[in-house]
Amino acid sequence: MRILITAGPTREYIDPVRFISNSSTGFFGYQIASEAVRRGHKVTLISGPTCLIPPKGAKFIPVVSALGMKRAVDKYFPGSDCLIMSAAVADYRPVTASSRKIKKEKAALVLKLVRNPDILSLAAGKKKRQVVIGFALETGGLKNNAKEKLKKKNLDYIIAASLNNKKSPFGDREISVLIMSRTGKTETFLSDKKGLSRIILDKAEVSKYHCGSDII
């Protein structure tokens, strides 16, 4: 299979030294890419800024912003069999970015933001027998929100996790995830991200090789 994977955060710059981002480390996406390479798949990894080393054998495409990630996904998705969109893409970006560092001259600074494109929805809307897998991080209503996103974004699977104060899902940690398929089948797994990567790829392979049928 030709598998396209996105990973890491995006950065939306306010000025040359400040940006809007999130806590994603990219670890999960890199684990999926490593496992996919190990299985002999042709892997393209599109990654926002991280401190991780890309797996050997994967085609590595570094990007910074959401718009940069969109351009890369637009380029590589048509030639892929599967898209696994684990990147934490910023929902908003500044309307304009200052070319110089913003000085502390005012008591308050107001930023005007504009929505970034929904890369996953746009790609899934163009799929032709490709398997598309998305991720969701929620602070509440995990199952309902996952179900809504799965349908709204035209996904084959969604991997959803809860963010709470007891245990962060970021980095190299064991986490609990809900995996929901387009047929409504819902499963919960508690594992480290290496183990979850195997489960996700098992589902992607079965879905692709059985023409999208959900049999696991």
Is residue 22 part of the annotated active site? The answer reads yes
Using a 10 angstrom Cβ sphere, with 0-12 exposed, 13-18 middle and 19 or more buried, the burial of residue 172 is exposed
**Catalytic, out of 22, 145, 154, 164:** 22
| Dmax (CA) of the chain | 61
Contact predicate 177/137, CB 8 Å? no
The Cβ of residue 16 has, within 10 Å, a number of other Cβ atoms equal to: 12
Contact predicate 38/84, CB 8 Å? no
Q: Please calculate the CA angle 172-176-179 and round it to the nearest 5 degrees.
A: 115
Active site residues: 22
